[in-house]
Amino acid sequence: MINIPKGTKDVLPAQSYKWQFIEETARSVAKAFNFREVRTPVFEHTELFQRGVGETTDVVNKEMYTFEDKGGRSVTLKPEGTAGVARAFIENGLASSPMPVKTYYITPAFRYERPQAGRLREFHQFGFEAFGSASAETDAEIIFAASSFLDKLGVKGVKLEINSIGCPICRNEYNKALKNYFAPHLETMCPTCRTRYEKNPLRMLDCKEEGCKKITAGAPQILDYLCEDCKSHFEKVKSLLTGLGLEYTVNSRIVRGLDYYTRTVFEFLSGEIGSQSAVCAGGRYDNLLSQLGGNPLPAIGFAAGIERLLLLMENTGVAFPEEQKPLIYLAGMDESSRALCFKIAAELRKKGVCAEIDLMARSVKAQLKYADKIGAKHVAVIGESEMQSGEVSLKKMSDGSVRTVKIDDLYKYFI
Ligand code: ATP
Ligand code: MG
């Protein structure tokens, strides 16, 4: 017996309808906000993520599934969705389309992490990316889209936290202030923090080590270092969110796990999924396209983790739409009525009605038992008299009521 790799999961028929509900909801929100789908390869050149996501991030440092292919190239299974979409945007010349270009994706992502509830090695993300607009309205639209998605799923008790991490100009000042602050503590901090101190001090605020967390608690706040442009951008985003009726708190500690973010960053957090509290997160990344060799263009996006949403929905008892069930089970009593069931089912299926028949050569009694087990909504038993009259007794399983329906008109009953 060969088992599933650690940190991965099968989605079985009894679960897949929940996935489909989340995916269909994602697509319907994308449609309402006029975002169109982009599909990119599951693997990319490793360099894309090194340059795009950033060398000082946990994702690139420790979590990537990187391997050499048979041609000796280093390739990596995508650890997130944005870098691939940004590459596709540049490579396919989408920069020459009318701006903004609004895209979305639903994709598996791979990170070599320690598996826990809500933290997997293969997981799935739904995300939006809007390219070409630097306006605060775009930030508000993206955050509102993420919020609408969560609302449409029926998710409750998710809190929105936002922050601005500025542009390279104010970040430069802030990094200096952070370095001054951390310098006397450096010896007691973890090796990762010490490396980040040299390369990207902002990322020290993201450290999960208890000792480091105590020290970072007293660190200077980015919001005190924003330049005038970044400050007024952030003010505008906040007032637009308020105008949309979205509740949020400003959390100056949010720096996000990926290096490409600038200005607005945000997270939707839940207290119901243990320590993996971010269900959805995103931000502006105005420098990513130029970092990847494209023309400089502002952009902003978010990604939601589908497994975490599922966990949250299950933990909080959110109602999913009903699982797929046959609308009718046709039970045949003998050879020729079974043949008729087969034909009727074929006709109904052509019209899109979910119809089921016996494929196991069962007795009528066993067929009815099976119909009940699979939750068929209606059952019709067909024998000699039904064949002669051209009518069947259609039994509604929820209340046991029976009505006589012409076989030729059966489908009308379901459409
Ligand atoms: P965390 O701090 O929980 O590690 P992150 O900052 O690494 O999250 P992002 O890179 O922003 O996460 O990814 C966006 C979303 O994808 C997260 O909010 C989360 O819902 C989901 N996600 C990230 N990593 C995993 C994982 N290993 N397993 C399942 N879902 C994940
Ligand atoms: Mg992570």
pLDDT at residue 208 is higher than 90: no
Q: Smallest Cα–Cα separation from 400: which of 368, 356, 358, 355?
A: 368
> What pLDDT does 234 receive?
98
Q: Output the CA torsion sign for 90, 91, 92, 96.
A: positive
Distance 205 CA to ligand 1 centre (A): 17
Report the distance separating Cα 55 and Cα 59, nearest Å: 8
Q: Smallest Cα–Cα separation from 276: which of 140, 123, 126?
A: 123
DSSP assignment string, 274-300: TT--EEEEEEE-TTHHHHTTS----EE
| Residue 277 CA from chain centroid, whole number | 14
> What pLDDT does 137 receive?
98
Are 31 and 175 spatial neighbours (Cβ–Cβ below 8 Å)?
Answer: no
Ligand 1 within 6 A of 238 CB? no
Mean pLDDT of the chain: 95
Q: Which residue lies with its CA nearest to atom 5 of ligand 1?
A: 257
> What pLDDT does 260 receive?
81
pTM of structure: 0.93
Span 366-377, pLDDT tens digits: 999 999 999 999
Give the three-state DSSP class for 182.
helix
Q: Output the CA torsion sign for 85, 52, 146, 65.
A: positive
Q: How many residues in the chain?
A: 415
Q: Which residue lies with its CA nearest to atom 23 of ligand 1?
A: 305
What's the average model confidence in pLDDT over 24-51?
A: 98
> What pLDDT does 411 receive?
83
**Which tokens belong to 63?**
């979590």
Distance 100 CA to ligand 2 centre (A): 29
Cα–Cα distances in Å, from 402 out to 232, 332, 357, 379, 392? 68, 18, 19, 9, 10
Span 246-303, pLDDT tens digits: 999 999 989 887 778 899 999 999 998 887 789 999 999 999 999 999 999 999 999 9
Q: Which ligand is nearest to the CA of 208?
A: 1
Query: Which residues, in sequence order, are CB contacts of 224 under 8 Å at separation 6+?
Result: none
Mutate to test the pocket of ligand 1, among 19, 64, 123 (most ligand atoms within 8 A of CB): 123
What type of residue sits at position 224?
D
∠ CA 116-120-124 to the nearest 5 degrees?
Answer: 140
Ligand 1 atom with the shortest distance to the CA of 256: 6
Report the distance separating Cα 233 and Cα 264, nearest Å: 9
What's the average model confidence in pLDDT over 303-308?
A: 97
